[in-house]
Amino acid sequence: MAAPAAPRWLLVSLALQNLGRRKSRTGLLLAAVAVSSAIVFAGAVTMRSIETSMEIGFSRLGADLMVVAQDALTNITVALLTVEPTGQTVDANLLERAAIAGIGKATPQRVFRTTRSGLGGHGENVDLIGFDPASDFTVQPWISERLGRAMGPDDVILGAAQNLPLGSEITIFGKPFRVFAKLGRTGAGTHERGYFMRSSSLLALAPAIRERTGEVAPMLDPGKVTGFLIELAPGASELQVRFALLSKLSGVKVVSGGSLLTGIRQSLTALLAGALALVALMFASTAVMVSMLFSAIVSERRRELGLLKAVGARRSQIVGMIVIEAVAATGAGGAIGVLLGMLLLRLFERSLVYHLLQMGIPFLWLDRASTVLVALACLGGAALIGAVGALAPAWRASRHEPYDLIRGEG
C-alpha span between 393 and 245 (Å, rounded):
69
Q: What is the pLDDT of residue 299?
A: 76
**Residue 267: predicted pLDDT:** 66
What pTM was estimated for this model as a whole? 0.53
Residue 80: per-residue pLDDT:
35
DSSP structural state of residue 253: E
Do residues 374 and 44 lie in contact, with contact meaning Cβ atoms separated by under 8 Å?
yes
- The amino acid sitting at 291 is S
pLDDT at 313: 74
- Pairwise CA distance, residues 369 & 351, whole Å: 24
Q: Given this model, what pLDDT does residue 408 score?
A: 61
CB atoms within 10 A of CB 28: 13
Please tell me the distance from the alpha carbon of residue 386 to that of residue 373, in angstroms, as a whole number.
Answer: 20
Looking at residue 265, what is its pLDDT? 56
pLDDT, one tens digit for every residue, the chain (410 residues):
444 544 556 666 766 677 667 777 778 888 888 988 898 898 888 878 877 776 655 544 557 788 888 877 654 444 334 556 677 899 999 998 888 888 989 999 999 989 888 887 666 788 999 999 999 988 888 888 999 999 999 999 999 888 899 999 999 999 999 999 998 876 666 777 889 999 999 999 999 999 998 888 899 999 999 999 888 888 888 888 989 999 999 889 888 765 555 555 556 667 767 777 877 787 778 778 877 877 777 777 777 777 877 777 787 777 888 888 888 888 999 999 999 999 999 888 887 777 666 654 567 788 889 899 999 999 998 888 888 888 888 788 777 777 777 776 55
| pLDDT of res. 3 | 44
Distance in angstroms (rounded) separating the CA atoms of residues 106 and 90: 14
Q: What is the pLDDT of residue 289?
A: 81
Q: Report pLDDT for 187.
A: 62
Neighbours of 401 (CB within 10 A): 13
Going from the C-alpha of 78 to that of each of 121, 179, 329, the distances in angstroms are: 24, 25, 46
DSSP string, 220-248: GSTTEESEEEEEEPTT--HHHHHHHHHHH
Phi, psi of 172 (to 5 degrees): -120, 115
Sign of CA dihedral 368, 369, 370, 372: positive
